[in-house]
């Protein structure tokens, strides 16, 4: 006879959620500590470096902030964009593919448009990236509303198509392939001309890239867009109940296609900014934001401020793990990935525990 069963908790409490998150993170870091200790590394030192992203006692601490922001910007924009489509219950898991096509398009502009001033070149790169990604998302949405295809499968497949496309470009040494470095005998992606590489505002030695400012502006814009505009209202109604939207006379197909275009175009923008900031592209240009973004969007419960906070925390975790790992020869960046995985898993478990509780069955009182 079953004595216990799962019951949804009554009411939601932010406080309880945060406490559970804290417990979850502590446990996962405890597991990480045991692993580190068994490898002969002092876990406190490691975690200290990780959480301060290696800034303490570092002459070039500002470099680490720059590095962190480079990871943060694409993750933040991609998570926001994915959140937009998830809010409409459109399961766009094609962040990777949309990012890659955006990066390729930005690179096409960067390698071929020369002689223009830097802001104009970068603007053109971003427009090219947004258009290509946006059209890809629009196509997925079109097939969904026209033929009722499964968007999860389509976007997933497109991820692989785009990955193999960029791999092909990076491995094919031919005359037409302007993506590659002409000086190198081996096929490697070339560096963008100077006018296609993003600069920023100098604050002392610290270089605040323009992409950061754009990302912050996007947070505010999307927040207002979802909360106060007609478009945002339509997205929530369609996501809540497509039948209701239809009954209210909304053009559901058009709303889905428009939102998917905006969502993918934002991912394209993230790709354009990232390509420009790093001055080149590669197969790993996405840094997996298409995947991590899904986790961030859901951990942030599709709320814009929560997505912003979550992506900062995840970026610190990613960058911190990598910096801490560089100091110890016995571990490499794979350990950072492992630790990230453990922490994310425990946070999701904590989320589950905060929503559900175990209840004991009682017999009737005689």
**Residues that bind other proteins in the complex, under the rule CB under 8 A:** 1-2, 5, 7-11, 228-231, 233, 236-237, 240-241, 243-249, 359, 361-365
The minimum distance between CB 303 and other proteins, in angstroms, equals 13
Token pair 């090219």 in the structure block, residue: 128
The minimum distance between CB 350 and other proteins, in angstroms, equals 20
The minimum distance between CB 152 and other proteins, in angstroms, equals 22
Q: Give the C-alpha separation, 308 to 247, whole Å.
A: 34
The minimum distance between CB 84 and other proteins, in angstroms, equals 16
The minimum distance between CB 361 and other proteins, in angstroms, equals 6
Q: Give the C-alpha separation, 197 to 209, whole Å.
A: 11
The minimum distance between CB 79 and other proteins, in angstroms, equals 21
Q: Give the C-alpha separation, 230 to 220, whole Å.
A: 17
User: 349 near 31, Cβ under 8 Å?
Assistant: no
Query: Residue 70 is encoded by which pair of tokens?
Result: 């480079």
DSSP code for 52: T
The minimum distance between CB 354 and other proteins, in angstroms, equals 14
Token pair 């209840």 in the structure block, residue: 359
Q: Which is nearer to other proteins, 37 or 228 (CB)?
A: 228
Token pair 């470096």 in the structure block, residue: 49
Single out the residue of 137, 125, 67 nearest to residue 98, CA to CA.
137
Strand partners, 6: 358
Longest Cα–Cα distance in the chain: 90
Query: Residue 89 is encoded by which pair of tokens?
Result: 């219950």
The minimum distance between CB 228 and other proteins, in angstroms, equals 5
Query: In which element (H, E) is residue 203 found?
Result: strand 200-203
Neighbouring CB atoms inside 10 A of 155's CB total 26
Query: Residue 218 is encoded by which pair of tokens?
Result: 């996007």
Q: Which is nearer to other proteins, 225 or 291 (CB)?
A: 225
How many angstroms separate the first and last alpha carbons of the chain? 19
Q: Give the C-alpha separation, 227 to 271, whole Å.
A: 26
User: 306 near 300, Cβ under 8 Å?
Assistant: yes
């Amino acid at each position: 006879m079953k004595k216990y069963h799962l019951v949804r908790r009554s009411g939601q409490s932010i406080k309880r959620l945060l406490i559970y998150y804290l417990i979850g993170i502590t446990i996962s870091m405890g597991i990480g500590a045991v692993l580190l200790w068994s490898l002969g590394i002092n876990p406190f030192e490691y975690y200290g470096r990780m959480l301060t992203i290696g800034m303490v006692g570092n002459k070039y601490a500002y470099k680490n902030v720059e590095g962190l922001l480079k990871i943060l910007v694409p993750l933040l924009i991609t998570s926001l964009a994915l959140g937009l489509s998830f809010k409409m219950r459109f399961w766009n898991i094609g962040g990777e593919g949309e990012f890659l096509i955006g990066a390729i398009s930005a690179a096409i502009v960067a390698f071929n448009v020369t002689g223009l001033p830097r802001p104009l070149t970068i603007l053109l790169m971003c427009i090219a990236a947004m258009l290509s990604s946006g059209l890809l998302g629009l196509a997925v949405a079109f097939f969904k509303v026209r033929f009722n295809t499964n968007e999860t499968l389509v976007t997933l497949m497109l991820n692989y198509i785009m990955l193999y496309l960029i791999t092909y470009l990076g491995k094919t040494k031919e005359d037409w392939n302007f993506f590659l470095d002409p000086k190198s005998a081996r096929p490697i992606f070339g560096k963008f001309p100077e006018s296609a590489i993003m600069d920023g505002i100098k604050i002392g030695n610290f270089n605040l890239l323009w992409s950061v400012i754009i990302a912050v502006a996007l947070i505010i814009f999307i927040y207002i867009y979802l909360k106060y505009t007609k478009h945002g209202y339509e997205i929530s109604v369609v996501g809540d109940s497509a039948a209701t939207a239809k009954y209210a006379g909304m053009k559901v197909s058009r709303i889905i296609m428009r939102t998917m275009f905006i969502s993918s175009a934002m991912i394209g923008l993230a790709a354009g900014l990232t390509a420009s900031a790093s001055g080149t592209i590669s197969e790993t240009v996405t840094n997996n934001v298409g995947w991590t973004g899904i986790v961030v969007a859901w951990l942030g419960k599709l709320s814009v401020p929560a997505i912003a906070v979550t992506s900062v925390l995840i970026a610190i975790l990613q960058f911190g793990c990598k910096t801490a790992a560089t100091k110890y020869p016995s571990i490499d960046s794979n350990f950072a990935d492992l630790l990230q995985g453990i922490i994310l898993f425990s946070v999701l478990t904590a989320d589950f525990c905060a929503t559900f509780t175990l209840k004991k069955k009682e017999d009737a009182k005689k």
